[in-house]
Amino acid sequence: MSNIATTTPVINAIAAAVVTHDTPSVISNGSVNLQALGVPSTVTTSKEATSAATNSSDFELLTGMEQQRMSWENNELAASNRRLYSILTQAYSYYWELKLNSNEVVRKQKKTALDNFVSERGYTFMPSTHDMTRVVKCVFGMDRRRVSAYSIALREALRQEVQVADLVDFIEVNGGVEQIRLGFAKPLSASRRADVVREQVVSNELARIKIDPKLLGADADWVDQQLILVVTYLPTGELVINSVVKNDSAVTSALAAVYSKERAAVRQAERDAKEAAAADKRQAREAVIAANKQKAALKGEAKAAVVLAEGQRLAATAANYSNLFEPAAA
C-alpha cells in the first residue's frame, strides 16, 4: 500500500511537467501553432483578400466592356456604317449625274441645283476645288475633316472608275472610308508616268525613216534623244511629217499619254472581265430558274396525267358496273 501511494504523486508530477513545458509551443491564446506541428500553411491577410476580390472584379469589368464593344461593332456600328455608305453612294451618284450623264439637260439641272444650294448655305470654295468635294460638303456640312475624308474616298473610287452600284463593295473591301483615306494613292505625275513606259516605248521600233538633218536643224546633241513628230495620217496609210519637235517636256507628256492609254486599256479589260463574269452568273441564275420552272411544269403535267388516268379508271369501273347490272330487254 505504501508503494502505491508513493508512486501516484510521482506520475502526476511528471505529467504536469510535460504539460507545462510542451503546451505553450503548440497552443497560444487559443490558437494552434501549425509551424510547431510541422504543418505547411499559407496565411492570407484581409488586405490581400480584398486585393484579390478587386482584381477579379476589374477583370470582369474589362470582359464586360469587351463584350459591349463587340456587340456595338456587330450591331449599332455596322448599321451606322451601312447608313453612311448609303448616303455616300447617293452623293457619288449625284456627281456621276452632274459630270458624266450623257444628257446635257440633266447635267445642267444638277449643276444649277448644286450652285443654288451652295449659295443658299453660304459655302465658299476655291476655283480649284474638286466638284466631288463640293457635293460632299453640301451633304455633310462644315466638318472639314469629315468632308475631306469622304471626298478623298469618293475621288479614289472615281479614279479607279468604280461604278455607283459597286461603291459600297469598294469601300468595304478596302477597309472603310478612313482606311481608303490613309492609303490614298495620288495619281502619278507626268514624269513618273513617262519613266514607267520610257524603256518599253524606246525599245519598240515601228519603222525607220531618214530625214536630211539640215531640214531639222539637227546636230550631234540630237543623237539617241527622243523627239516628237507631228504627223498626218493619209487614207493610203502613209504618214506625212509636218514637224519635228525636240523638247523634253513634250516628250515627257507624250510618254505619259502612252502610260495613261495603257492603263485605260487595262481597266477596260478588267471591266470587261467583270461584266463577263456578271453575265455568266446572271445566265447561270436564269438557267436555274428556267430549270426549276420546267421541273415544276413537268411535275404538274405528271400530276395531271395521274389525275386523268385515275378519272379514266373510275369511268371504266363505272361503265363495267353499269353493264353488269344492265336490265334484260322486255
Residues 6+ apart with CB under 8 A from 239: 231, 232, 233
DSSP string, 45-59: -HHHHHHHHHHHHHH
pTM: 0.42
**pLDDT of 243 higher than 80:** yes
d(CA 64, CA 98): 49
Residues pairing with 244 in the sheet: 229
pLDDT band at 30 (very low <50, low <70, confident <90, very high): low
Residue 33's pLDDT is 56
**pLDDT of 189 higher than 70:** yes
User: 81 exposed, middle or buried (CB, 10 Å; 0-12, 13-18, 19+)?
Assistant: middle
Domain ranges of the chain: 2-32, 52-182, 190-273
pLDDT band at 18 (very low <50, low <70, confident <90, very high): very low
Residue-wise pLDDT tens digits, 44-96? 555 555 566 667 788 788 888 888 888 887 888 778 888 999 999 999 999 99
Which among 154-158, 301-305, 306-310 has the top mean pLDDT?
154-158
Q: Give the CB-side neighbour count of residue 157, counting CA atoms within 13 A.
A: 32
Residue 327's pLDDT is 59
